Amino acid sequence: MSLLETIRGPRDLDALTDSQLAELSAEIREFLVREVSKTGGHLGPNLGVVELTVAIHAVFDSPRDAIVFDTGHQSYVHKLLTGRQDFSRLRQRGGLAGYPQRSESEHDIVESSHASSSLSWADGISRAFTMTGQDDRHVVAVVGDGALTGGMTWEALNNISDDNSRRLVIVVNDNGRSYAPTIGGMARFLNTVRTRRTYRNLHLSSRNLFSHLGAPARAFYRGVRGGLHGFLSRFTNNEALYSNLDIKYIGPVDGHDIPAMKEALEQAKHYGAPVIVHAITQKGRGYEPALHDVADQFHAVGQIDPETGEPVEVASRPSWTSVFADEIVHIADEDPRIVGITAAMLRPTGLHRFAEKYPARVFDVGIAEQHAVTSAAGLAFGGLHPVVALYATFINRAFDQVLMDVALHRAGVTFVLDRAGVTGPDGPSHHGMWDLAILQVVPNIRLAAPRDATRLREELREAVGIEDAPTVIRFSKGEAGTEFDAVRRTGDGVDVLREAAHKDVLIVTVGPMAGLGLQVAERLAAQGIGATVVDPRWVVPVPASIIEFAREHRILVSIEDGVRVGGIGTRIRQDLRSAGVDTAVTELGLPDEFLPHGSRAEILDLVDLTPQKIARDLIAQVLGSRIPVARPLPEDSGRTIEAPLDSEER
């Protein structure tokens, strides 16, 4: 039996020697490469925190001591050490989540995978422990150097430093990267600490000395090494960043040296006040393909060959992201006013190709969405047209800036929201399902949802041509999918994808839901129900022709992959009411719930967004209403309209 197989909880580490903990770490790396290569997931970050996580669980007593992971994508090792070693369905329906999840384990405290929030959580938890007399409980926050670029981290540090009576340990996992290399003044400061000759000399000499010492000498050396690091840090001014915050600083420490990490954490544990432990780690540690990947060191992978790191399956169609990546470069070639902004996600959002060709025109501001948006407003004021590329789930963090800094000032800023709608394996915090409902309340905003790659290129060009209001282009994750040409386009830009001679049902689809709408229409037609399918392209404001189409039909059904509460269907219903159109409206979309992880198809099936379920409900609605079908079936057709289904069959 391997050492890993003997670990059913963190206290099983207590029986292991430091050499056995090192052996366990090697087994964990082998496990991660073998298992994550089958399912996909955040491989590089977890390979980089193996020893760091082992040391934390060896020193602290989870769950009595609360361990909070910033973003949480580096929690796979934590899951293994807390008894979750079945990774066969990682990030798949019914399997382990890719982030901490309270329903999985009492050891998981914070589920959100949005960066820079861990210190605020830790501040609140530690205050609660102190106020309720639980002074023997510790809080450990594991935060990456990339997360230190987020303003929320510094808001939390400001408050943590105001009260030194709490047992709070902040472990800075410093690998010089978030997705790609971390940028900005913070990154430059940490890099000087990481590369300073005095630190490198001490680190190398301590490793060499430690390997030659006997057991008693090693024990003595562990006792003084933390002091040496502390002395050296003062001598070389490594504490300069934190000294004015009045927070104890320990480090830098080799995050892959278990005895060194344990010693540093023990010091921090017994200090009795907030402490920062600065650990230097290497993302992708121990896996050559990750180390050779300069771009993101296998931050997140799909299914790969564990030996080579090459993808097992090659996409047959270009991804939404790659279509945007190519088109924004073409647009930038033609218009020198176009500039790009992203928040530590240059490659994931597709701005990397723009940056490669025009490095002076693309700005990566770190994990700072609020700053990105307001900076974009300033760029627009200066005569440029900024394109802000974010994941849809992260635009939530900058809503106030979109509203008050961009929209209020009528700034021409284009927001490109990747991973919109149901994203799949990353779970509740990464489904981009709130953007349509949140953003459509912004005055004068214009929202576009392309249904395919051709429309993405087209609508992106239209968006950057608008200079007096914010524009939004949102698209899904993965392959761009099937192209659907329009039968015709109205004067205000609405694409008619299918036009029924007998106008019973109008299906209004949002973005990639066009294919679903067409399948529903075919099923309705098979039952003698005429269905027209339209794609507004620009869903906010609602085009006038949508109102006119609704006048001609008996029922309107909207289908979107955003939350239906306050969604596009709601907006259409309100506009119909204002125009005095009494067509019945059915709004289909995602429920106002936190949806689990799983494939996009599985999630859509879970929320009843499938052609079978939608068609059956519409047939029942047509038959159950007093609205007759426009064209009754001929008596000799041999076909009849299905009877309404009971709830169980439905």
pLDDT of 114: 78
What does the pLDDT average to over 433-457? 97
CATH architecture for residues 59-73+98-288: 3-Layer(aba) Sandwich (3.40)
Q: Choose, from 263, 369, 459, 587, the residue flagged as catalytic.
A: 369
Instruction: List the single range of 264-273, 421-430, 553-562, 625-634 with lowest mean pLDDT.
Output: 625-634
Confidence of residue 148 (pLDDT cuts 50, 70, 90): confident
Residue tagged 């929209």 (tokens): 407
Do residues 376 and 388 touch, judged by C-beta distance below 8 A? yes
pTM (predicted TM-score): 0.82
H-only helix segments in 383-509: 392-395, 399-401, 435-439, 453-464
H-only helix segments in 335-404: 352-357, 369-381, 392-395, 399-401
In angstroms, the CA 257 to CA 279 distance is: 10
Annotated binding residues for Mg(2+), written as ranges, equal 145, 175
Annotated binding residues for thiamine diphosphate, written as ranges, equal 73, 113-115, 146-147, 175, 287, 369
Do residues 555 and 586 touch, judged by C-beta distance below 8 A? yes
Annotated binding residues, written as ranges, equal 73, 113-115, 145-147, 175, 287, 369
Which contiguous run of DSSP H or E holds residue 85?
none
Question: With 50 as the cut, is the pLDDT of residue 302 above it?
Answer: yes
What proportion of the chain, given as a percentage, has pLDDT over 70? 84
Confidence of residue 164 (pLDDT cuts 50, 70, 90): confident
Q: Could you tell me where in the chain the CATH 3.40.50.970 domains are found? A: 59-73+98-288, 320-474
Q: Is 357 a catalytic residue?
A: no
Select 499-624's CATH number: 3.30.420.40, 3.40.50.920, 3.20.20.70, 3.40.50.300: 3.40.50.920
Q: At what angle do helices 258-271 and 50-59 cross, to 10 degrees?
A: 40
Q: Choose, from 29, 91, 262, 283, the residue flagged as catalytic.
A: 283
Question: With 90 as the cut, is the pLDDT of residue 202 above it?
Answer: no
Select 320-474's CATH number: 2.40.50.90, 3.40.50.970, 3.90.870.10, 3.40.50.300: 3.40.50.970
pLDDT of 593: 92
Type of residue numbered 92: Q
pLDDT of 429: 82
Output phi, psi for 448, to 5 deg.
-120, 145
Q: Is 499 a catalytic residue?
A: no
Question: Across 67-71, 406-410, 476-480, 499-503, which has the greatest mean pLDDT?
Answer: 406-410
Mean residue pLDDT across the chain: 86
Which residues are CB-neighbours of 170 under 8 A, at least 6 positions away? 119, 122, 141, 143, 160, 247, 274, 275, 276, 277
What proportion of the chain, given as a percentage, has pLDDT over 90? 65
Q: Is 283 a catalytic residue?
A: yes
Question: With 70 as the cut, is the pLDDT of residue 295 above it?
Answer: no
Q: Choose, from 79, 91, 397, 446, the residue flagged as catalytic.
A: 397
Q: Could you tell me where in the chain the CATH 3.40.50.920 domains are found? A: 499-624
pLDDT of 621: 86
Residue tagged 């609704």 (tokens): 550
